[in-house]
Amino acid sequence: MVCVLYDDPISGYPTDYARDDVPLISRYPDGQSVPSPKEIDFTPGQLLGSVSGELGLRGYLEAAGHTLVVTSDKDDADSAFERELVDADVVISQPFWPAYLTAERIAKAPALKLALTAGIGSDHVDLQAAIERNVTVAEVTYCNSVSVAEHVVMMILGLVRNYIPSHDWVRKGGWNIADCVTRSYDVEGMHVGTVAAGRIGLAVLRRLKPFDMPLHYFDRHRLSQDVETELNLTWHDTVEDMVAVCDVVTINCPLHPETENLFDEAMLGKMKRGAYLVNTARGKIVDRDAVVRALESGQLAGYAGDVWFPQPAPADHPWRTMPNEGMTPHISGTSLSAQARYAAGVREVLECFFEGRPIRDEYLIVQGGALAGTGAHSYSAGNATAGSEAAARFRRTGGGEVSE
Ligand code: NDP
């Protein structure tokens, strides 16, 4: 088994934490139960998503006679991932530090049976190739949807209220009220719309309702009348129609061929001048350079998100330096709280896989040579990994603290 995880902190794997525990959640808002493996070998609230955390899997897997290789080295042709892939039965990867499983890589892995995402969003796997090779693709649906929704709300408030530039004045020793507030507004009364009202999109709408923001959504499937009434939602039958009336737009759909490049120059041009765009879904859903131009011209007043393409983004990625941005690396779904759930979910899926029990339908994206479960509902067949080889540029451009 090959497990690709992000690097440990540059200060080393932590020995203590800011808090002693994380709240335990037994059910998600729609009633779905949280991951329920037979056992876990980790302490919730500890760092599990980095290389030394190993998702808490080593004891379980080695006791069962499996070989586990954990690495962060994933992008070059001679990376540890490429080397280990050739005899892997299972690949575990994360959206935050994606091991792009392209058709070429799937072809190099004749034993591969399961591509498991420790998180949500399996667009880093060529789903078409997985369908054709009969590789099961699964993810831990719902494990970090609320984590992301919280990040979206934070980013909307951060952009509209001009939080980060104002904070920068504090760090610089200034007291520049006017500099801070010439771009600062209240969200109250602003119209906000989500592209997709699935688990994250709906959680964002619920969280923004108390801010007295009129709420809009676009989705392929309409929410129930009860939910529309409860939240006083306006549904739009096209994205174009929705963005034309919104002050804030948040993107919460998966990346698949239908949504790739959805926010191109034309779509950005249909938004209200001075609108804010928050994208925690996937970088490829927006046109990278069109976003930069829209910020430079003022068509967008701000852009924030935590998803880039490729990942990790090279040091010279223009979103690192564009004006009025509120970017983070891809962290919204990997809080310590979320890690406990996705690590437990990975363990649950592996227990099912090795014991020949069915994987929960809601965790399935591809099975038996077709889209399945959540994949059949929310994805379309095809491939969204094109261009992922450029992720290797991160190390070459001196990104992070990683040397070549
Ligand atoms: P869900 O499956 O609950 O929701 C996805 C929604 O997107 C569904 O309502 C689906 O509609 C809708 N959708 C699919 N295609 C389209 C389309 N072409 N146009 C409009 N809506 C569409 O997933 P989550 O809400 O939990 O997650 C959504 C995405 O967010 C993930 O796929 C992932 O890419 C991203 N994500 C990011 C994270 C991060 O750390 N930044 C962490 C977790 C997720 P329907 O089913 O009605 O067809």
Q: Which residues of 153-184 are buried (b: 16+ CB within 10 A; e: fewer)?
A: bbbbebbbbbbbbbeeeeeeeeeeeeebeebe
Closest ligand 1 atom, residue 280 Cα: 41
Any idea where the domains of the chain sit in the sequence? 2-143+334-372+380-391, 145-320
Q: What's 145-320's CATH class?
A: alpha beta
- Compute the half-sphere exposure of residue 250: CA atoms within 13 Å on the CB side of its CA: 32
Please give the average per-residue pLDDT across 381-404, as a whole number.
75
What number is the average pLDDT over the span 175-188? 98
Residues having CB closer than 6 A to ligand 1 are 119-121, 144-145, 148, 195-201, 218-221, 252-255, 258-259, 280-282, 306-307, 330, 332-333, 374, 377-378
Rounded CA separation 339/205 (Å):
24
291 Cα: distance to centroid of ligand 1 (angstroms) = 21
**Sign (positive or negative) of CA dihedral 311, 45, 254, 107:** positive
Looking at ligand 1, which atom is closest to the CA of residue 200? Answer: 25
Paired strand residues for 304: 278
Residue 46 a catalytic site member: no
**Tokens 């088994």 belong to which residue?**
1
Q: What residue's CA is closest to ligand 1, atom 45?
A: 378
Query: Active site includes 144?
Result: yes
Instruction: Let me know if the fold of 2-143+334-372+380-391 is the same as that of 145-320.
Output: yes
Of 93, 206, 219, 224, best ligand 1 pocket probe by most atoms within 8 Å of the beta carbon: 219
Dump pLDDT digits (tens) for 100-145. 999 999 999 999 999 999 999 999 999 999 999 999 999 999 999 9
CATH number for domain 2-143+334-372+380-391, candidates 3.40.50.720, 1.20.120.1200, 3.30.310.10, 3.40.50.880: 3.40.50.720
Active site residue 330: yes
Model confidence pLDDT, tens digit, residues 192-235: 999 999 999 999 999 999 999 999 999 999 999 999 999 999 99
